[in-house]
Structure 1
Amino acid sequence: MTRSLPLFSIILAISLAAATQTAQAFPKGGFTNLSAARHAGETPLPLSGTVAETMNAGGYTYIALENKGAKSWVAVPQMEVTVGKKMSFSPGVEIANFSSKTLNRTFERIVFSQGPTEQQAPAPKAAPKEAPAKTAAGKNGTAKVEKAAGPNAYTVAELYKNKNTLNKRKVAVRGKVVKVAMGIMGKNWVHLRDGSGSAKKKTNDLTVTTTAAAPNEGDVVTAVGVLRKDRDFGAGYKYELIIEDGTLEP
């Protein structure tokens, strides 16, 4: 069962592509009368359709999508959008009765998304069989990363295996950054993998939330923070295991 989102200031990054840029908040006073929109019986807003209207304000782009005769609104970090183009957007936080003082209008329902969904890239060509592997890889295909040092250090797989014992305890884990989502709920969400765990069982990827500057994808960092299990933030942000308010070190 999805829990209602708490009332908080929603912060989105000005540019998701600039991984090192600090996320900026919406203009002060730009939000009024916020309330979680996932009320019982409501139909989730479609996040795909034809662009019917678009406008920029305060570093953000507001987009009206038409889908089967229905119109819905999506807000993303400012980008170029063409009216008449078919677009799809990543799931986000849905808000009811959102009033924007910058635009001087109220949106009955609007979804704050990270941006358009990425088109699937073509699969890379296989390397010649005679080419030696440059790095050791775990069972899930991710290059192995040396485990962090210290009594509270664990691999990603060890954290999942001992999640009941380690829940709400401070831990350290070292891994490679495979994905970064900036400025969601006022934090940067960093996905780490270290070559341990199982992709099939979904025990090979650990998310860390942090207010520190976002790392680049491909960086190897050590995350230190409190481990929590079975966290449901609503709006699709549900995690079997997560490190909250972590610090990141090279």
Structure 2
Amino acid sequence: MKFTIFSCLFIATLSILILTSCSDDAKVVDAVSNSESSAVSNASTGIFSGKSLDSSKRKSYKVSILEIRQASKYSYLKVEGEGDGLSEGNPYWIATLRGDFQVGDEYVYTGRLLKSKFQSKELGEVFDMIYLVSFIEEISGGSPIVATVEGVVSISDVVTDPMKYAGTIVRVHGQITKVNESIMDRNWIHLKDGTADDYDFVLTSKVSVPVGHSVTFEGLITTDKDFGAGYIYELIMEDAAPIQ
């Protein structure tokens, strides 16, 4: 009997302050100041933290992209449309995990926190006002945007030839779809990357990451794993950890 079990977390760093003001439905870590360096912790893959909410309860904002500025880990997008808090169509900036965005395309995003005087050292720019966004996807029905990460193996590759990867440490990258915490002293996370979404890919981790985030995990691929009490998996990633 297979169980679909998952989990949620995002941060393990020194001097963390969880901010809840000005947020629609996601918390954001601000460790030092309004800057890229303060938006990253050594156990997260981005700038967000906190408990996940059911997607049906999240506010969503439809926008089109006017301008794109890429940093190594983040995409800075000048957009127009919903969610600017001003008049309809007034352009504003959002930042999210780096992805393959296109000017002119339309997207929907959820989970954001307003930051003022936000500094991007990589771009050498200070944004007077910017929203840090936790999840964004193309309106045309495309897959959720995920970061381009070196050394990542697709879930399809692992599922197609599990014995090739069994007993080895690999990296996978995808969007977290469901989570369950603290079962058998583990957090259980379901991940999809757009390559084998009909397969229920599960990983276990000591950390927990919110649903909707795109994350890179590194862990041990195991086949025919019996955890006891009927929890049996033909394929699973164990002891996975998010990497920057």
Shorter-chain TM band: 0.3 to 0.5
Instruction: Give the structure, 1 or 2, with the largest relative contact order (CA under 8 Å, sep 6 or more).
Output: 2
Q: State the TM-score, normalizing by the size of structure 2.
A: 0.42
Q: Give the structure with the larger strand fraction.
A: 2
Using structure 1 for the length normalisation, give the TM-score.
0.41
Higher Cα Rg, which structure? 1
